Structure 1
């Protein structure tokens, strides 16, 4: 009852509009409008036309002036559209005014992203996070979602009894707030379980890296290739909403946990950043980040800045990072790669799809963790089976040989036990 209306399922023809207030930002505005087209198309909605509309100032009622609003509505009717999608964020009152003026469905960028997330969420945590974000978005917009909200009622029975004169909208909002509180409690429980799993990883002192980047940059494909797993990886926006962690073995023999995270977009609604903190905090807590960029996209540098901005919001600034230029097989002009490498320091050229550059990436991951492990040969008396057991449990044993009454064990040893084993080194 309190869900955001599933408008995209009712929509077949949409007019996409971005209101611009600064002509010097035309290129950026066009780019954002084109990205909105990708988002809307991801929902299966037909895009009739893109319209970049200019306004000298922001207005309270329609965000633009009444004359410009009338032009946009006339254009939507001329194209026989059943929806207008704004790239700008609309206040609840502005959304109501536009729908009254146009007499067709009007939504904004945030609602499009919420609908995509609602379709893609799979795990309980992602589903709860999406539901929370949608409920918080819907709460101030309830007055336009149902026509019965202006009815008053007495204190009759029923599941949602109300006092004399209490409007239905007040009952609905009260129930919605209760539901939001319940979702937050369930999320807290899920996050507690996630924290327990993370403590188990930390107890084993297993290094951890998070794969981050703009949506559809190839993060899931990269994780699949490195780990030999089969996570869903498609050429679509927000194919991944649930974090997935897999282990890989690095060239020096140590194990690395890799986590795939949700992709970022420009103008990501702040409520989604808040709602997805439990998912994105994997990036904050990782030992280092692997930042994946689509080198074939002309907006790669913009996407780099977007991802860095969101990471800063999450408190992950200053985290060690490997920057990967992915999809180099799609780049026809080598100057494009030269320019990106010049603008971005210490990049790795890679094609996850064609398995190019993977060895260099694995080696760079090893370099990132160089201070965490040591490779040594240990001479341990056979009477000290407890030490051999520690190496087999806490370290990566590469070989075992016997010499007299001693056991020669070559192992990759994490720093946490290196000191205890120092006197037995026989390098």
Structure 2
């Protein structure tokens, strides 16, 4: 067999820090880390939980653990060591030297997965930007560490060996980052134009979010009839997909599938994918998809809410519906669902199975009901002289009907979404009446 075809032999280490609380069970954390490693082509030879009394500045793990790892790595001919933690550049370098294996921490592994998964030009740009931002800080710190190791003849770091090359590398990375940010800004403007067109058409946006592998893409396919790639893989979907779907009573919405979240999702990745995730920021409803069959689903839900908070999305700004997916995998559905509780404030919870279709009709009815509660219908009188007001109504509301013009003007019946309601009430003050609530 060709050497290139052989998967890399890898060892996985999940540190459990004494006294450091985590809402994730350590066994669940280990299983997830194994899933992350399995998302790229690795041969997992060794996977173990290492209990750490205190984090060592030089190697993160204690000397005894490092020595034992080095022996196993040599004996098993392991090429890659994955550590489920955020390693400093010095810790990474020292572990590589002590074990003889290439070392990646949690952030680097997620970046590798994203690099393999990115399919569109936008996705490739986003992943590269995140990778460069990650590498930029490590380049500086690694250089500082190397210079200390080599010594600088009492002259500090000025004029030290390698400075010219490092400065050149830093400058090239900075220039590339500027270029990528400029290109992604153009993507952002294009997305903003597309969202503006949807707003003018008054088509509400319903965004799917959730922990990676919660079944968002399967649910998206089941609701929309699309064929978005959906597989039992972490981060199967990186690129946002939008489809129009019809609700039971004729209303249409734009359904948006997004990248999955995960515990300790690197900040650089959240920042790089912000253009994509703005579909969530501007959504009329957020569907938080939870894998209710996973024993770790409460902790996963908290991680999703943390990323939403970082994006500025909260129940105060956007109604959140929890979709409890994969009920077909529950041994005792009634008991399991009775014991499940929403994460944070939600307007509804809907148990479903994207695989069997159970609960999808109820979910559509809930979406329709929430949209109806969010929008209000008003009667408004507009004089003939107020042409700008007529334009505003057509651009920012759904015009349901218009009466025959009279000498004083025309009467409109319009539906106004919450995001435009304050401006509507201020602009048409004294000329409106609520039709229904």
Residue 254 (str. 1) matches residue 251 (str. 2): yes
- Equivalent residue number for residue 86 of structure 1: 83
Question: Cα deviations across residues 292-321 of structure 1 (Å, max 9, x unaligned)?
Answer: 111211111111111111111111012211
Residue 415 (str. 1) matches residue 416 (str. 2): yes
Q: What is the alpha-carbon root mean square deviation over aligned residues?
A: 3.5
- Equivalent residue number for residue 291 of structure 1: 288
Q: Which aligned pairs between 1:275-314 and structure 2 lie closer than 5 A? A: 275-314=272-311
User: What displacement does 1:12 show?
Assistant: 2.0
Number of equivalences = 377
Q: Which aligned pairs between 1:26-425 and structure 2 lie closer than 5 A? A: 28-142=25-139, 167-318=164-315, 319-334=318-333, 335-341=335-341, 346-370=348-372, 371-372=374-375, 414-415=415-416
Deviates more, 1:118-127 or 1:288-297: 118-127
Change (3 A) 1:279 1:313: same
Change (3 A) 1:343 1:271: closer
Change (3 A) 1:395 1:174: closer
Contact 1:13 1:48 in 2 (8 A): yes
Question: Cα deviations across residues 29-53 of structure 1 (Å, max 9, x unaligned)?
Answer: 3321211100101102011122211
- Equivalent residue number for residue 16 of structure 1: 12
CA distance in structure 1 between the aligned counterparts of 2:36 and 2:163, rounded to whole angstroms: 40
Contact 1:294 1:327 in 2 (8 A): yes
Secondary structure at the counterpart of residue 414 of structure 1: strand
CA distance in structure 2 between the aligned counterparts of 1:351 and 1:375, rounded to whole angstroms: 38
CA distance in structure 2 between the aligned counterparts of 1:238 and 1:76, rounded to whole angstroms: 28
CA distance in structure 2 between the aligned counterparts of 1:342 and 1:323, rounded to whole angstroms: 7
Secondary structure at the counterpart of residue 241 of structure 1: coil
Question: Cα deviations across residues 344-375 of structure 1 (Å, max 9, x unaligned)?
Answer: 86321111111111110010011111142669
Q: Unaligned stretches of 5+ in structure 2?
A: 148-160, 380-389, 401-412
CA distance in structure 2 between the aligned counterparts of 1:191 and 1:395, rounded to whole angstroms: 26
Q: Unaligned stretches of 5+ in structure 1?
A: 1-7, 151-163, 377-386, 398-411
Change (3 A) 1:227 1:374: farther
User: What displacement does 1:341 show?
Assistant: 4.9
Contact 2:350 2:362 in 1 (8 A): yes
CA distance in structure 2 between the aligned counterparts of 1:177 and 1:205, rounded to whole angstroms: 41
- Equivalent residue number for residue 385 of structure 2: none
Contact 2:14 2:30 in 1 (8 A): yes
User: What displacement does 1:123 show?
Assistant: 2.1
CA distance in structure 1 between the aligned counterparts of 2:91 and 2:20, rounded to whole angstroms: 26
Question: Cα deviations across residues 228-266 of structure 1 (Å, max 9, x unaligned)?
Answer: 211111111111101111111112211111111110111
